[in-house]
Chains A and B, each alone.
Chain A
Amino acid sequence: MTPSAPVAFPDIQWLQLAPIIVVLGAAAIEVLVEAFAPRTSRRSIQIGLTFAALIVAFAIIVINAGTFQLVVAGSAAVDGPALFLQGAVVLTALLVALLMMERKVDPSGDAFAARASAMPGSEDERQFTARGYLQTEIWPLFLFCTGGMMLFLSANDLLLMFIGLEIMSLPLYLLAGMARRRRLLSQEAAMKYFLLGAFSSAFFLYGAALIYGFAGTVSFGGIADAVVGQSQMSGLLLGGIVLLCVGMFFKVAAVPFHEWAPDVYQGSPTPVTAYMAAGVKVAAFGAFLRLMYVAFGGEAWEWRPAFWVVAILTFFVGAMIGLAQSDIKRMLAYSSIAHAGFLLLGVMAVTPDSLSASMFYLLTYAIATVGAFGIVMLIRDDSGETTSLDAWRGLGRTHPLLATAFTIFLLSFAGIPLTAGFIGKFTLFASSAAAGEGWLVLLAVIASAIAAFFYLRVVVIMFFSDPVGSGPSVATPSWATQTTIVVALIVTVVLGLFPQAVLNIADHADVFVR
C-alpha cells in the first residue's frame, strides 16, 4: 500500500447530465418526503414533485439539443439519439404519471394497493382500504425507474449500462406487484418479472465480462476499436455478444425470450403495464441500438444472421399468438412483442437512416401504447377492470367517442395510413430495405398484415357486435386520464398527417457519438 500520485479526476458536465440528475434527485427527495411528511399531504407533495422534475428534465433536454459529446470520462454519451429518446421517455412518463394519478375510475382509490404489504383478502387489507390509505411510494419508485431509463439509453460503457438497466428494472418489479384489484395475479406477475429479469441481468453481466476479457475495456469506443483491430474472430467476442444480446432480447421481449411479457402485462396495474410497454421499450431499444451500432457495428455481418432468426420469430409469434387472445391486455402484450420484432430490423441495419426511423417508430409506438392502456383502465365491472374482450362488445354503440379513440390507436399499431404508426413503419421498412434487407422487409410486411387482422378484430367487436347484457360498463375518468388519452390521440393523428417536423428532428439526431 504505497501512497500513489494524485489521481486525475474527470470533468463532470453538469448541464449535460442535468436531466438525469434532476429526475433521480427528485426521486431521492421523494423518499425523504415519505419519511417526514404527514400521511394526508404526501400524495399531493409527491405528485407536485414528480411533475416538476419531469417538466424541468424535459426543458433541460430541449436546451441541450444539438449537444454531441461524451461526458464523465466517456462513460455516458449526450448526443442526438440519447436526447431524442430521453425526451420520448420523459413525455411517456408524464402521460403515465397522469394515469397513475387517476382516482375516479375505481371507487376505492387509485390503481395501486392501499398497502402492498397487506395479505390479499385479509382483514388488514379491508381496513386499510376502508380508511382510504394510498401507497404513495409508487411516486419515488416511478421516478427512479424513469431516471434509470434515461441513464440506460445514454450509457456509453457496459458498466453504466448495467447500472441503468438495474435502476430501471428494480422499481418496475415492485410496481408490477402493487395492483389494487386481482392482487394475487399482480404478485405473480411481479415474481415472474423479478426472477426472469434477474436471470437475464446475469446473462448481460456475463456477456459484459467476456467482452471485457476480449477488449480490455468496457467503453463502447474501445470495444469498437478492438473489434476492428482484431486479426481473427475471437470466441470471447462472439460469446460476449451473444450473452449481451440475450439480456437485451429479454428486456425488449423478443422471441424466444418473450414468455414473461403476457403474464406480467396482464397482472400489473394498468398504468404500470403502460409504462412497461412504452417506456421500457423505448429505453431498452435506445440502449440496444447504441450497443450494436457503436460497440459491435464493425462486426454486423457476424451477428446479423442471428438477428434475422430472432426478428422473424418475434414478429410472427407476436402476430399469430396475438390472434388467439381473448384478453385485451394479453393481446396488447403480443402486439408489443410483434413491434419489438419490427424494431429489430432497425437494430440490425446499422445505418443512420434506420436509426432515425427506429427512434421515430419508438416515439409513435410509445405514445399510442400509453393512450390505449389509458382506455383499458376505463372498461370496468364491480371487481375492477374487465380485460376480457367480451366486455368490449358493442362499445362502439354505447360509447362511440371512446371506441373511436381506441380504434385510432389500434390502427396506428397496425400501421394504417393517416396514423403515426404508418409513417413509423414505412420509414423503418424503407430504411431497412435500403440497407439490403429486402426479403426480411417482405416477411415483416406479411407479419404486420397478420397483426392488422387482430387489431381489426377488436374494432369489429367494438362496432359490429351486440352488447352483452346491459353493454360494457365504462367508468368516467377524471381530467388526468382524459388528458392522457386526448394528448396521445392528438400526437398519433398529427404525427400521421404532418410527420415532417419530428422526422426532421430524428434525421438530425441520427449519429451516435463515440
Chain B
Amino acid sequence: MNVYIPILTLAGLAALFACFSVTMATFTGPKRYNRAKYDAYECGIEPTPQPVGGGKFPVKYYLTAMMFIIFDIEIVFLYPWAVYFDSLGLFGFLAMLLFLVNLTIPYVYEWRRGGLDWD
C-alpha cells in the first residue's frame, strides 16, 4: 500500500495548489477594471457578442499561424541537425531532405490554394 501514498500525496498537493492559487488570486490580485480588461481576450478576435448570423472575421490569423507552425517545426529540427551534421553523415542528410520535402507539401498546398494572397 505504501507505494500509493506518493500518488495520493501528489494528487492532494495538486488539488491544494489549484484551490490555493484561485483563492489567492481573487484576494490579492489588483482590481483595475477597464473595457479591455472585461474582454475575454485582450487581443485578437472578439468572441462575443457575435453579430447576427455569426458575422465575419479575418481568416488570415489562422493561415499565418499555420504557416508559422510549418516553418517553426522545420527550424526546431534543422538547428540540432546542422550542429551535428558531421557525425550524422549521409543518412542524416537524406533523412533531413525527406523531412524537408514532407514539410514543403503543406506549404505548397497553402500557396496554391491562395493562402499567401493578402488581397
Binding site for A on B (CB under 8 A): 2-7, 10, 53-54, 59, 83-84, 86-89, 91-92, 102, 105-106, 108-109, 111-113
Contacts and interface: CB of A to CB of B under 8 A. Distances in A.
Contacts of B3: 232-235, 238
A239 to B, nearest CB: 5
Given A4-B87, A235-B7, A28 B102 contact: yes
24 contacts: A1-B83, A4-B84, A6-B89, A7-B88, A7-B89, A9-B91, A9-B92, A28-B102, A28-B105, A31-B105, A32-B105, A34-B113, A35-B109, A35-B111, A35-B112, A36-B112, A119-B53, A121-B53, A122-B54, A234-B3, A238-B3, A238-B4, A239-B7, A242-B7
A6 B88 CA distance: 6
A119 B53 CA distance: 9
Contact of A122 (B4, B53, B84, B91): B53
A368 B33 CA distance: 59
Contacts of A234: 3
A242 B112 CA distance: 46
Given A34-B109, A119-B54, A242-B7, 9 more contacts: A4-B84, A6-B89, A7-B87, A9-B89, A32-B109, A36-B112, A232-B3, A235-B5, A239-B10
A interface, size bucket: 20 to 34
A3 interface: yes
Contact of A235 (B4, B87, B105, B108): B4
Contacts of B108: 32, 35
Interface in A220-242: 232-235, 238-239, 242
Nearest to A137: B109
A5 interface: yes
A6 B87 contact: yes
Interface centre among A28, A35, A238 (most CB of B within 10 A): A35
Interface in A102-134: 117, 119, 121-122
Highest count of chain A CB atoms <10 Å: which of B84, B91, B105, B111: B105
A35 B113 contact: yes
Contacts of A3: 86-87
A235 B5 CA distance: 8
A246 B102 CA distance: 32
Nearest to B10: A239
B111 to A, nearest CB: 8
Nearest to A232: B3
A238 B6 CA distance: 10
A17 to B, nearest CB: 14
Nearest to A4: B87
Contact of B106 (A4, A31, A232): A31
Interface in A1-32: 1, 3-7, 9, 28, 31-32
Nearest to A235: B6
Nearest to B9: A235
A122 B52 CA distance: 11
A457 to B, nearest CB: 40
Contacts of B88: 7
A105 B40 CA distance: 43
Nearest to A123: B53
Nearest to B110: A35
Contacts of B84: 4, 7
B87 A31 contact: no
Interface in A121-154: 121-122
Contacts of A121: 53
A62 B2 CA distance: 49
A6 B86 CA distance: 7
Nearest to B102: A28
Interface in A24-62: 28, 31-32, 34-36
Nearest to A302: B3
A24 B30 CA distance: 52
A302 to B, nearest CB: 9
Contacts of A6: 87, 89
Interface string A233-255: 11100110010000000000000
A11 B28 CA distance: 59
A334 B88 CA distance: 51
B61 to A, nearest CB: 14
Contacts of B109: 31-32, 34-35
Contacts of B5: 235
